[in-house]
């Protein structure tokens, strides 16, 4: 009985040691260098907060290879795939990457439909990992666009809450460019909806046929026929 208790205590002690094991320095350095060199960092200040690992690995005698698992940008709660070629092993390293930079917020209460001017916005600084992926980083990216929802003062402005001003409105007569494999034609139609540049719009042709196209300039819509 005493022997079983001793084995159990040793097992618990070993498990506790593994749970609180730090990421080995060589792996930390490789991950930090990967983050610093990642094109998605864009000159932002980055800090990597590692999660303790359960797994121990042998020292690697070759440069470590690092890849980012499942995310296009290297911040927030992420997992890095670290590989060693000699001896061969692979390690998944969870971490939280803090990325500090500027972002755009509402400078005052902004109602739905507000067309944003520079005076409506302010620049804040903080950890982008705590914000939505679509947060606006520069005032110019939001100037002249309208809000699709209400924002209180200090609220981050997201790209998904912005709409381009309509250059075509429902009921307008528009020029339609029909393009397909080896041919191009033009005609006139009535807009069934409103849309800004680059947005999708529904049209009704003179023969009653309904099509959907993309606004390429004021008064002109391109319809691709595949």
pLDDT one-digit tens code per residue, 56-97: 888 899 999 999 988 778 889 999 999 999 999 999 999 999
Q: Using the predicted structure, report yes or no on whether residue 128 has a pLDDT greater than 50.
A: yes
Query: What is the arithmetic mean of pLDDT over 150-176?
Result: 92
Q: Using the predicted structure, report yes or no on whether residue 4 has a pLDDT greater than 80.
A: no
Structure confidence by residue, pLDDT tens digits, 198-209: 889 999 998 889
pTM of the model: 0.64
Query: What is the arithmetic mean of pLDDT over 201-221?
Result: 92
Q: Using the predicted structure, report yes or no on whether residue 183 has a pLDDT greater than 90.
A: no
For residue 66, give the nearest of 26, 23, 30, 22 by alpha carbon: 30
More confident residue, 86 or 10: 86
Which CATH number among 3.50.50.60, 3.30.390.50, 3.40.1180.10, 3.90.1210.10 corresponds to the domain 100-163? 3.90.1210.10
Going from N- to C-terminal start, the domains of the chain cover 17-99, 100-163, 173-225
Q: Looking at 46-55, 95-104, 131-140, which range is the least confident one?
A: 46-55
Element holding 65 (H helix, E strand): strand 65-68
197 contacts: CB under 8 Å, gap ≥ 6: 164, 167, 215, 216, 217, 218
Q: Using the predicted structure, report yes or no on whether residue 112 has a pLDDT greater than 80.
A: yes
Structure confidence by residue, pLDDT tens digits, 20-41: 346 788 999 999 999 999 988 8
41 exposed, middle or buried (CB, 10 Å; 0-12, 13-18, 19+)? Answer: middle
For residue 91, give the nearest of 59, 117, 114 by alpha carbon: 59
pLDDT at 22: 61
More confident residue, 166 or 7: 166
Q: Report cis status (omega within 30 of 0) of the bond before 87.
A: yes
CB 181 within 8 A of CB 196: no
Architecture category of domain 173-225 in CATH: Roll (2.30)
For residue 142, give the nearest of 128, 162, 123 by alpha carbon: 162
């Amino acid at each position: 009985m005493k022997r079983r208790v001793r084995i159990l205590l040793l097992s618990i002690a070993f498990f506790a040691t593994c749970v609180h094991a730090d990421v080995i320095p060589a792996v930390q350095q490789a991950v930090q260098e990967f983050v610093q060199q990642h094109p998605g960092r864009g000159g932002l200040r980055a800090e990597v907060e590692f999660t303790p690992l359960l797994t121990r690995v042998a020292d690697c005698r070759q440069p470590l290879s690092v890849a980012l698992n499942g995310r296009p940008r290297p911040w927030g709660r992420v997992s890095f795939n670290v590989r060693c070629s000699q001896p061969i092993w692979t390690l998944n390293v969870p971490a939280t990457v803090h990325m500090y930079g500027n972002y755009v917020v509402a400078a005052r209460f902004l109602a739905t439909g507000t067309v944003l001017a520079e005076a409506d916005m302010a620049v804040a600084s903080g950890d982008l990992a705590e914000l939505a992926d679509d947060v606006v980083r520069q005032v110019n990216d939001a100037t002249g666009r309208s809000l699709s929802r209400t924002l209180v003062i200090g609220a981050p402005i997201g790209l998904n809450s912005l709409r381009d001003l309509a250059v075509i409105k429902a009921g307008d007569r528009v020029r339609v460019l029909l393009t397909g494999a080896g041919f191009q034609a033009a005609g006139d139609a009535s807009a069934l909806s409103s849309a800004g540049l680059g947005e999708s719009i529904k049209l009704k042709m003179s023969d009653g046929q309904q099509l959907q196209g993309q606004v390429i300039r004021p008064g002109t819509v391109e319809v691709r026929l595949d």
